[in-house]
Amino acid sequence: MNVRVTVLISNPPSPHHVESLKDAALDLTNDKNSIKITTKPTGNYHALITDFKIRKAAQSKVIDGIYETFKSCAWSFEGYQDMSIQFP
């Protein structure tokens, strides 16, 4: 199943941000080669988008684990604004 986690920050992203998100995805994925992190400016913010795959499961059963894993790194980002999880 495909997962996309988008983190919005008010500061430009650093290599530390990208590495932290990669580590979070590595904790959850069953396909390490599926991890892709992109960054892009979005209005007044910067979006850090992490795409990766996990084993098929009901979204309601995995959403809390995804949230907790990414929250632990994203909330420490200076300028953290918001986070969303999608299953594209």
pLDDT tens for 54-87 read 999 999 999 999 999 999 899 899 999 999 999 9
**Chain-centre distance of CA 43, in angstroms?**
19
80 vs 24: CA distance, rounded Å: 16
Q: What is the mean pLDDT of residues 21-32?
A: 96
What share of the chain has pLDDT > 70, as a percent? 100
27 neighbors 54 (Cβ within 8 angstroms): no
Q: pTM score > 0.85 for this model?
A: yes
